Amino acid sequence: MAGNEQHYTLDLPKFDKKVRLLIVVAPYYKDIADNLIAGAKAVAAEAGAEVDLVEVPGALEIPTAIGMASRMADYDGFVALGCIIRGETTHYDTVCNDSSRGLTMLGLSGVAIGNGILTVENRKQAEVRADPADQNKGGGAAAAALHLVELSRKWARRTKGIGFKPQGEEFRIAGDSEGPKTA
């Protein structure tokens, strides 16, 4: 039974420079969202991170808000929080799959995101997972974001020949009327 398994959890990273996290939450199930937020904020505080919080209408809007903030604001990482409880229609599958896909695409493009969007069969499962004193999935999402921030800082400025410029060959800069340049 999964409830009795032991799971390994990485120690929280330590930072020399302040970390700024943005928590983006869909508070459709307000009590569940509040517990997820409490867990995320506690873990962020333990790591010394500053946290801002924004609410969006639903889980489908979470990736959009994070994508906008990653381009227009100054955050090191993001925590996605919300809860999707299975209902009677296929809407559950659409919301689960598309919100997850959106977050994954942002993550693969280099955005440090911890995914704490619960996808559950019933309210009881959500309550257990959201509770900071139980499974604390909000705290886990914040920890994941912090670990990815640590990696992004570790790998910052390390590049491997971005772009292509032939050595020793002449090339013309587009729109340059002075003639060929030597690389």
Annotated catalytic residues are 91
Beta-carbon contacts of residue 172 (< 8 Å; ≥ 6 apart)? 179, 180, 181
> How far is it, in rounded angstroms, from Cα 119 to Cα 84?
5
Phi, psi of 176, deg, nearest 5: -90, 125
Other C-beta atoms lying within 10 Å of the C-beta of residue 63? 27
Q: What's the distance, Cα to Cα, between the start and end of the chain in Å? A: 64
Side-chain half-sphere CA neighbours of 170 within 13 A: 5
**Residue position matching structure tokens 């307000």:** 30
Judge whether 143 and 9 are in contact, CB under 8 Å: yes
Q: Exposed, middle or buried by CB within 10 Å (0-12, 13-18, 19+), for 64?
A: middle
